[in-house]
Amino acid sequence: MNEERNESEKKKLSYKGLKRLGSLLRFMWPKKWSFFGGLAALTLSSLGTLAFPMLLGDLLDSAHPETSLNHINTLALILLGIFAANAVLSYFRIYLFAIVTQFMLASLRQTTYYHMIRLPMSFFSSRRVGELNSRISADISVLQETFTFTIAQFIRQTITIIGGISLLTLISYKLTLFMLAFVPLVAIGARIFGKAVRRLSKDAQSQVAASNVIVEETLQGISNVKAYTNESFEYNRYSDATNEVIRISLKGAKWRALFISLIVFSLFTSIVGVIWFGVYLVNQGAGLTTGDLFKFILYTLFIGASISGMADLYSQVQKAIGATDSLLDLLEEKTEEFVVEDCGKEIQIAGNVRFEHVGFSYPSRPTVPVLQDISFEVGTGKKVALVGASGAGKTTITALLFRFYDPTSGQIFLDDSPASSMQLRCLRKQMAIVPQEVLLFGGSIGENIGYGKPGASMEEIRLAAEKANALEFINAFPEGFDTLVGERGVQLSGGQKQRVAIARAILRDPRILILDEATSALDTASESLVQSALNELMKGRTSIIIAHRLSTIREADMILVIDNGRIVESGSHEELMQNNTGKYFELQQLGMK
């Protein structure tokens, strides 16, 4: 309920929305001088435009025999000079604002991306990739239009309206008051239509994000889509989402069209009214000349066009506020606490790991315990195996060790120091994981291995690949280490991807190693090569192994049997098998071999 109320308030309080949009201007500050230069060019060109009706009216008043030709020529040359100056100023305005906008948006994209990748795992567990990708693509694209065009036009129109009304007052305050009587109609319309446009713009952005999620999920799982022949199903799902975008966008277009139609009607009505009243004042001898009336009509047209343009600018600002709300909601999420500086050798750990009465529940399910009273210790360089049924809590133990999440009770110690007291970057730099499903990035084999230690030399990468039993298949490729692995590593077999992941971990040279079902999905031949590489990787490192296969875990110094989030048995393979009873024996009988 509170969230719904807050969202409602966010839509109602336009000042808050404008303030949030204005907060993005901090990304412009590094290019402030370009902005001020563009603003100066914009102001001067706008003032030059305002001088045009005044000079043109004077030129019209000069249309009688008493006026000298020199005076007429001087007015004409001044007008030409203003046009030439405006052309030069427009060039600098557009170019300088482009510099500001492009650097600002690049900074905004970089900040959003860097902020996003530093968010905790609890955030990503409740979000979809496509939705997050939309924040960097669709929302920032809306802001690009706003900061490239809308703000400059808004400033120009404001100068035109204020300056024009001031000059109109000097010409005839009576005619000015008559003209301004039409303004309240526009203001009321802006208030009514603006709310609807903003709400529909935000709905449209959300729906675009939802459609992007479908594309992301479909392409990530394209093999499953094809295997189940669900191309038509996915097409229909995407069509429904994009059709909903059309429906919402067209509804917003109706409101914008009604708004602009109201403005256009008001504009022409005010022009006809001003001309009628102006002619009346001239006929009544109220001190107005034909040239003054001409000036007044031109200024009225300028002001009317500016107010009409304000209507569309207003709707664009509403769209930008909708995009800003989503973007700033993301930027206001609390990130993990990272320290960028080098951790240094003085904080290197030996590798002793100790869990003391650790309990844990996922933030999304706080009442459902995943781990309960977990206590164990792994000495430096020792190997411990975690076994148990799926969902028992094995992977969660390793997630806590990486501090993807913090325990809800108890504490984890590394070398007798609380893990919570260590900087995350320093902690994770001394750990590595080889998962069951290896994620390779879409670059080359060498780049994927080098991911374990950015800046590593080619010789270091080659040595790591050799230790991981990967050098033979890498050299078999014509491009060697430059071979592209494809999206998510689709060009490599399961065993090859595992050995690339192992080489990456070897290159990292961690003190603590996590092996999460690293061989469970491999055939016998691949398993033999991978297991040999894993044995090389585990030498001298504290290793925590999650596995089902006996060949992987029987050499462990200690085996922990996890059941429903608790340690129910512990000991070596021989000790746990002695009595032919217990959970470990039961798991062996069910298929651990």
Residue finishing a domain among 454, 486, 509: 509
Residue 8 exposed, middle or buried by CB count within 10 Å (0-12, 13-18, 19+): exposed
- 510 three-state secondary structure: coil
Nearest to residue 115, comparing CAs of 269, 383, 329?
329
Q: How far apart are CA 593 and CA 591, in angstroms?
A: 6
pLDDT tens per residue, the chain (593 residues)? Answer: 333 333 333 344 355 666 666 677 777 778 888 888 888 888 888 888 877 777 777 777 666 666 666 767 787 788 788 888 888 988 888 888 888 888 888 888 888 888 888 888 878 777 776 677 777 777 777 777 777 777 777 888 888 888 888 887 887 777 777 777 766 666 666 666 666 676 777 777 777 777 777 887 788 778 777 777 778 888 888 888 888 888 888 887 877 777 777 767 776 777 777 778 777 777 776 667 777 777 777 777 777 777 767 766 776 777 777 777 778 778 888 887 765 556 655 467 888 899 999 999 988 788 889 999 999 999 898 989 998 888 888 889 988 998 888 899 999 999 888 988 888 888 888 888 888 777 788 788 899 899 888 888 999 999 988 888 888 888 998 888 898 887 666 678 878 888 888 888 888 888 898 888 766 655 666 667 777 777 777 888 898 988 766 666 777 889 999 988 899 988 888 888 886 777 887 777 766 54
pLDDT in the model for residue 183:
63
Report residue 175 CA to chain centroid gap.
51
8 A C-beta contact, residue 512 and residue 431: yes
CA distance 168 to 54: 10
Residue whose structure tokens are 């692995």: 485
Structure tokens at 259: 């708004």
Q: Write down the pLDDT at residue 13.
A: 35
Report if residue 533 sits inside a domain. no
- Whether residue 272 is found in the same domain as residue 361: no
Answer yes or no: is 524 within a domain. Answer: no
Q: Which residues pair with 444 in a beta bridge?
A: 484
CA distances to 435, 487, 524 from 492, in Å: 16, 10, 17
Residues 150 and 247 in one domain: yes
User: Does some domain include residue 336?
Assistant: no
Q: Looking at 331, 357, 390, which one is the last position of a domain? A: 331
Tokens of 68: 């000298």
Residue 567 lies in a domain: yes
Residue 530 belongs to some domain of the structure: no
* Residue 451, token pair as written in the block: 């991911």
The CATH number linked to 499 is 3.40.50.300
DSSP code at position 581 = -
d(CA 97, CA 349): 51
- Give the residue carrying structure tokens 């107005």: 288
In which domain, by residue range, is 179 found? Answer: 2-331
Contact (Cβ atoms closer than 8 angstroms) between residue 553 and residue 560: no
How far is residue 199 CA from its own chain's centroid?
Answer: 21
92 contact partners, CB below 8 Å, separation of at least 6: 37, 38, 41
* Backbone φ, ψ for residue 11 (5° rounding): -75, -35
Structure tokens at 167: 């000059």
Judge if 350 and 478 occupy the same domain: no
Helix (H) or strand (E) segment spanning residue 508: helix 494-508
Among 493, 483, 498, residue whose Cα is nearest residue 433? 498
Q: Is residue 390 part of a domain?
A: yes
d(CA 531, CA 499): 10
How many domains does the chain divide into? Answer: 3
Alpha helices by DSSP H, listed for 118-171, are 121-124, 129-134, 140-145, 151-171
Do 378 and 454 lie in one domain? The reply is no
Please tell me whether residues 69 and 158 are part of one structural domain: yes
Query: Do the domain assignments include residue 355?
Result: yes
Residues 158 and 48 both lie in one domain: yes
Identify whether residues 198 and 282 lie together within a single domain: yes
One domain for residues 89 and 233: yes
CA 542 to chain centre: 37
DSSP character at residue 316: H
Asked if residue 182 belongs to a domain, the reply is yes
Q: Specify whether 468 is located in the same domain as 364.
A: no
Domain of 146, CATH number, reads: 1.20.1560.10
Taking the alpha carbons at both ends of the chain, their separation in whole angstroms is: 53
Same domain flag for 295 and 321: yes
Q: How far is CA 544 from the centre of its chain?
A: 35
475 CB-near residues (< 8 Å, 6+ apart) = none
208 and 88 belong to one structural domain: yes
Do 185 and 206 lie in a common domain? yes
